[in-house]
Amino acid sequence: MPIADVLAKAREHMSKTVEHFQHQLARLRTGRASPALVEHVRVEYYGVPTPLSQLSSITVPEPRMLVIQPWDRSVLGAIEKALLQSELGVTPSNDGSVIRLVLPPLSEERRRELVKICRKYAEEARVALRNIRREYLEELRRLEKEERFSEDERHRGEQELQKITDAFTEEINQLLERKEKEILEE
């Protein structure tokens, strides 16, 4: 396996880690409404836990409001129940055809808690990147021992792997910085 293939696999693996981090950040409630806040909520639909995004359209008519319109009205009660049981901390309003979620403004204390959670997610993502880097460094060393390429080529591969890791780490840091700013602004 050439070095380029090892690096391509590492890049793909690290990209998935950053993608997962972005999904974690999207689920955190900030001062603004976003469909990502509720689309992962599982609703009991004909005995099967189904993601809310597969049962309804989720829109944002106002900055602090979500409107959930199910495609099948018979599931309104189940959606309302699932939203009440979720850790959103928002009471849904059911008018018989749609469910409205009005998000209250965040307190300063809650904003600080959310920033801590974001930083924890970012650190977990950075640790995952370092683990991926270690895994692919071991792969490069193993391939060198099998005499697939020289020590110099392995060193170049390790340097390139470090550059890839640094780039993804910087991307995580930028995503974290943007999310913190979004949480802390009114």
Mean of the pLDDT values across residues 58-80? Answer: 87
What tens digit of pLDDT does each residue of 28-58 get? 766 677 787 787 888 888 888 888 888 888 8
pTM beyond 0.75, yes or no: no
Structural domains present in the chain: 3-27+107-184 (1.10.132.20), 35-102 (3.30.1360.40)
- Contact in structure between 81 and 123 (CB atoms under 8 Å): no
CB atoms within 10 A of CB 42: 14
Interatomic CA distance for residues 138 and 135, integer angstroms: 5
How do residues 125-172 score in pLDDT, each as one tens digit?
999 999 999 999 999 899 888 877 888 888 999 999 999 999 999 999
Instruction: Quote the pLDDT of residue 43.
Output: 87
pLDDT at residue 29 in the model = 66
What percentage of the chain's residues is helix, strand, coil (to nearest 5)?
A: 60, 15, 25
Mean pLDDT of the chain: 87
Q: Does the pLDDT at position 16 exceed 90? A: yes
Q: Give residue-wise pLDDT tens across range 59-68.
A: 888 888 889 8
Percent above pLDDT 70 for the chain: 96
Do residues 41 and 82 touch, judged by C-beta distance below 8 A? yes
Burial zone of 117 (CB within 10 Å; 0-12 exposed, 13-18 middle, 19+ buried): middle
Sheet with 99-102: strands ordered across: 56-62, 65-70, 99-102, 93-94
The pLDDT of residue 186 is above 60: no
